[in-house]
């Protein structure tokens, strides 16, 4: 009887240890994904704001009077919202909303706070960018091949799914300010602010 009880306890301890390792690996994996995804947004903000010579030359940086939306939105040549995107390209409010969105989503993910709001803003931003590139169409308004490689699951869609998964799985609880943020009385009263 004693040997069987010892074996049962050892098996139970082994299962608990294995589950803890799996939970720890899951939490760390989600944290790495969260911070990495945050850097995708933060880097886009930094490059467009300061012209770090990756996708934005210094001369077209936002701090040097460049518009972070004008080039992209003026070149939209597909989809049902083509004329609307052209009309808002380079407007002060589109530039500010776009840049604040990139910065806000990036910092939200990296810091692990306001994950629901950051996810909503990120999904909206990615949805608008998806509409601007409109991968459902095979040809531009000029009749040239659009270059779309997948009519649905392009990177905007995948990034949006990642944001939702990160928010719903509590990814802010590891390597971030999420636990401290969630402990604040106002956040406990209003969990949607997590």
Asked if residue 5 is part of any domain, the answer here is no
Asked if residue 10 is part of any domain, the answer here is no
Average pLDDT along the chain: 89
pLDDT confidence tier of residue 76, bands split at 50, 70 and 90: very high
Segment 36-44 shows an average pLDDT of 98
- Residues 132-157: pLDDT tens digits? 999 988 888 888 888 888 887 899 99
Asked if residue 155 is part of any domain, the answer here is yes
Proportion of the chain above pLDDT 70, given as a percent: 89
How many structural domains is the chain composed of?
1
Q: Is the pLDDT of residue 81 over 80?
A: yes
Q: What is the pLDDT of residue 151?
A: 84
Q: Is the pLDDT of residue 5 over 70?
A: no
Taking residue 158's Cβ as centre, other Cβ atoms within 10 Å add up to 12
Asked if residue 156 is part of any domain, the answer here is yes
Asked if residue 13 is part of any domain, the answer here is no
Asked if residue 25 is part of any domain, the answer here is no
Residue 188 lies in domain: 30-193
- Residues 149-182: pLDDT tens digits? 888 789 999 999 999 999 999 999 999 998 999 8
112 within 8 A of 169, measured Cβ to Cβ: no
Q: What is the pLDDT of residue 2?
A: 54
146 within 8 A of 139, measured Cβ to Cβ: yes
* Contacts by residues 21-24 (CB-CB < 8 Å, ≥ 24 positions apart): none
CB half-sphere exposure, 59, CA atoms < 13 A: 0
Asked if residue 1 is part of any domain, the answer here is no
Cα separation, 129 vs 5, in Å, equals 60
Cα separation, 26 vs 19, in Å, equals 10
Q: What is the pLDDT of residue 145?
A: 87
Q: Is the pLDDT of residue 10 over 50?
A: no
């Amino acid at each position: 009887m004693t040997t069987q009880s010892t074996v049962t306890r050892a098996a139970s301890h082994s299962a608990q240890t294995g589950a803890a390792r799996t939970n720890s690996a899951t939490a760390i994996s989600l944290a790495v994904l969260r911070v990495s995804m945050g850097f995708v947004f933060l880097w886009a903000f930094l490059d467009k704001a300061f012209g770090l010579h990756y996708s934005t030359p210094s001369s077209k940086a936002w701090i040097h009077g460049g518009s972070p939306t004008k080039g992209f939105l003026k070149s939209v040549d597909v989809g049902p919202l083509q004329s609307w995107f052209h009309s808002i390209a380079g407007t002060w409010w589109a530039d500010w909303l776009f840049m604040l969105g990139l910065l806000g989503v990036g910092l939200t993910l990296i810091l692990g706070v306001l994950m629901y709001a950051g996810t909503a803003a990120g999904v909206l931003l990615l949805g608008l960018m998806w509409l601007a590139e409109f991968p459902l169409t095979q040809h531009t308004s000029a009749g040239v091949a659009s270059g779309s490689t997948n009519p649905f699951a392009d990177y905007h869609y995948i990034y949006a799914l990642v944001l939702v998964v990160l928010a719903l799985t509590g990814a802010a609880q590891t390597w971030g300010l999420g636990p401290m943020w969630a402990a604040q009385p106002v956040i406990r009263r209003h969990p949607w602010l997590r």
